[in-house]
Chain A
Amino acid sequence: MSEYLSDYASLLSQYDVLGAFWVNIQLTFWAAIGSMVLGSVLALMRISPPASMRAVGAAYVTLIRNTPLTIILVFLVLGVWSQLTISFTDDFNQNFFIYAVIGLSIYHAAFVCEAIRSGVNTVPAGQAEAARAIGLSFLPAARLIIFPQALRGAITPLGNTLIALTKNTTVAAAASVTEISALMKTMIEFRPDVIIAVFLTVALGFVIIVIPVGLLTTWLSQKLAVKR
């Protein structure tokens, strides 16, 4: 047993597990911002007056939600970067990190959009009617009256999206970003005898990140709930 532990400890000193987790956390952070912005725009489009905007928003959600994330990431690297030769910086590590963030944002924006839309559905029609009655047009009404309430109602699904995003950063290896799942594979292939310990380390890492997010969103959704 103690030998197992020392084998495992030597493996940990050889590979930068914390560093790899840090990459996943950074990916989560930037992609959360990206998908929140893009998702809000999409949600706005889906409730906006012009039918064409609503259609585009709906098409985006349907298309992206039904495509595996891996394929989206591979297309960004193989198609956009390699064939269209669009580069953000000459530094490969940074360049692919940005691509991974874009891919994760594109994918999760569809879910953010649906989350916000479900939040909009919790806002009673009277709120919109009141906004209209005091002379607000669509954009001010959406910005001042609907969205603030919708976001509060959307906290639980948004939290779920954030959790899914955190876990999905493990797919970023498809965009040439070295993160924890790729490192875990290398570690196990190098030292298959300590496979359980390696797996538990990675799994617990995610539990530690994900469960507080879950608790926080539950707490927030209760605290911020619009009492009706």
Chain B
Amino acid sequence: MSTSVLFDVQGPRAKRVTMILNVVAVLVVAVLVWLVVQKLGEQGQLDAEKWTALFTERTWSNFFIPGLLDTLRAATLAVVGSVIFGLIFGLGRLSSVWILRAVSTVVVEFFRAVPVLVMMIFFYLGLARTGLIQPSNTPFWAVVIALILYNGSVIAELVRSGVYQLPKGQREAGLAVGLTPSQALRSILLPQALTAMLPSLVSQFVVILKDTALGYIITYPELLASARRLGSGDGNILQTLLLAAVVFMIINSALTFLAGRLSRLLSYRTSGKTRPLHEAAAGDETG
């Protein structure tokens, strides 16, 4: 539904009232901002060197760039892993063999229910005990595995619902031209379902990227952890954390934008719905 039918185009009077309210709102916000700035100044948080330090070469080359690279390294592997995991268990849930269906359902439902942070802590403290992975790599693998299990399960659901959401006629047409059900799935349904879910997939990558930030709790040296480290060394942790937040926002906004573009681009290449996850089924996201 387009929102414009909800109200008339504003007339001169409504426009005037809106204008006045806008000005009032801006003034109120300006006063609030002024109060905050003043308080921060009193606390010494506006001292120039606490801010200028953010834009030195050392800040970036020694802390933010390495941190960002570690964030991307974990996120990339988690993306690849969760797509594979999601395809396997999504198809598992569509399988005609009941035992595979049951196992996949249990796996997917379990990992969707357990908080990512809880899994990260478990793998962080648990992997080192197995001796399979060098202890200094356990934070990395704990982050990656926890993200794969959770986001892979979400993607499995995307695969399943993607196939279910295709018009019935697609499968029937496949069967009518003599394809077996599994051939129809592979050559007709799955390609369309995957195309349709691509925007949602990109949105899920935003979730993965954001969740790597939980890695700082288990000592993975990602962006947030690097920002904290720099802030502890220089005594300006508030400023470094703000910069980290801005970097996260920029990257994630770019990904969100990409998801929006993709959904428009792909909408006529599939008979499924290409709306990204956050609109179609908002909220399956974590920290």
The answer to whether A and B interact is yes
A residues near B, CB below 8 A?
A: 47-50, 52, 62-63, 65-71, 74-75, 78-79, 83-85, 108, 111-112, 114-115, 117-118, 120-125, 127-129, 131-132, 137-138, 141-142, 146, 156-158, 160-164, 167-168, 170-171, 173, 180-181, 184-185, 188-189, 192, 195-196, 199, 202-203, 206-207, 210-211
Question: Beyond A181-B118, A203-B110, is A68–B3 a contact (Cβ under 8 Å)?
Answer: no
B interface, over-half SS: helix
Question: Beyond A62-B256, A111-B278, A128-B5, is A68–B283 a contact (Cβ under 8 Å)?
Answer: no
CA distance A68 to B126 in the complex (A): 25
Contact between chains at A47 and B280 (CB < 8 Å): no
Residue on A nearest B278 in the bound complex, by CB? A114
CA distance A169 to B21 in the complex (A): 37
B229 to chain A, nearest CB (A): 14
The answer to whether the Cβ of B2 comes within 8 Å of any Cβ in the partner chain is: yes
* Contact for B252 among A66, A85, A156, A207, CB less than 8 A: A66
B255 to chain A, nearest CB (A): 8
* Contact for B286 among A85, A120, A168, CB less than 8 A: A168
Contact partners of A160 in chain B: CB under 8 A: 281-284
The answer to whether the Cβ of B18 comes within 8 Å of any Cβ in the partner chain is: yes
CA distance A177 to B211 in the complex (A): 20
Contact partners of A111 in chain B: CB under 8 A: 278, 282-283, 285
B residues near A, CB below 8 A?
A: 1-3, 5-7, 10, 14, 18, 21-22, 25, 36, 39-40, 43, 45, 109-110, 112-118, 121-122, 125-126, 129, 206, 210-211, 213-214, 216-217, 224, 237-238, 241-242, 244-245, 248-249, 252-253, 256, 278-287
Work out how many contacts link A and B, with CB atoms closer than 8 A: 197
B156 to chain A, nearest CB (A): 15
Task: List 4 other contacts, CB 8 Å, given A66-B253, A167-B114, A184-B122.
Answer: A65-B206, A185-B125, A199-B122, A203-B113
* Contact for A206 among B118, B213, B283, CB less than 8 A: B118
